[in-house]
Amino acid sequence: MFESCRAHLAVAFSPLRHGNAAGVADVPDTLVLKRHRDLVGIRPYGVWTRWIVMALLTVAAVLGLLNVFGQRPGTTVASAPAATLKLYAPEHLRGGLLWSARFHIYANDDLKRATLVLDPGWAESMSINTIEPSPVGEASRNGRLSLELGHIPKGGSYILFMQFQANATDVAWRRPQNVELDDGNKQILVLHHHVTVYP
């Protein structure tokens, strides 16, 4: 009796019963190997179309690795006799990305009311998540963001961090994000910066 059961099990689980001796499953019902694997009967442009699509996907991935679409930051510097401003921020972004900017002010003279004035491009289609440390005052100056930082003594420095998120549907080519450093109403310098937002 045991020998009979063993023989039935051997037949039931035999690889030959399910496809081939290697134990590989049968071809799914909806696939035809000659057409889908061997591409028999497909016109030449069908094969080339597949290669072109794969090449485009590969190129997009390589460009992303090379930071063409962001978000690796870079440093931009503007200097004047009274102060130097360094901006550490990306120039290329993708919609939906979280990113940050660092503003570093070096005071060569005493700045009694240091104020950063940012172009509207810093807030256009961007969510401003945090500003640290919080400015002494915030206002609008002719449509630009005005952040009063307070007193920076001669020889001192001040670092302001801002965190953003690009709107997921935003697309922009070289949007101006200039930064002006003032002492009260007196302009000290202007730093030129721009950003490109890819979809």
Domain span at 37: 2-65
My answer on whether 78 and 37 are in the same domain is: no
- 144-176 burial by CB neighbour count: b if 16+ within 10 A, else e? bbbbbbeebeeeeebebebebebeeebebeebe
**CATH number for the domain that contains residue 101:** 2.60.40.3670
How is residue 170 written in tokens? 């935003």
Tokens representing 9 are 């099990």
| DSSP string of 38-61, one letter each residue | S-TT--HHHHHHHHHHHHHHHHHH
Same domain, 11 and 53: yes
Nearest to 136 by CA among 156, 111, 119: 111
Model confidence over 57-69: pLDDT tens digits?
A: 999 888 877 777 6
pTM above 0.75, yes or no: no
The answer to whether 107 touches 78, Cβ cutoff 8 Å, is no
> How many domains, in total, are found in the chain?
2
pLDDT, one tens digit per residue, over 104-126 is 999 999 999 999 999 999 999 99
Q: In the predicted model, what is the mean pLDDT of residues 142-161?
A: 96
For the chain, give the percent of residues with pLDDT over 70.
86
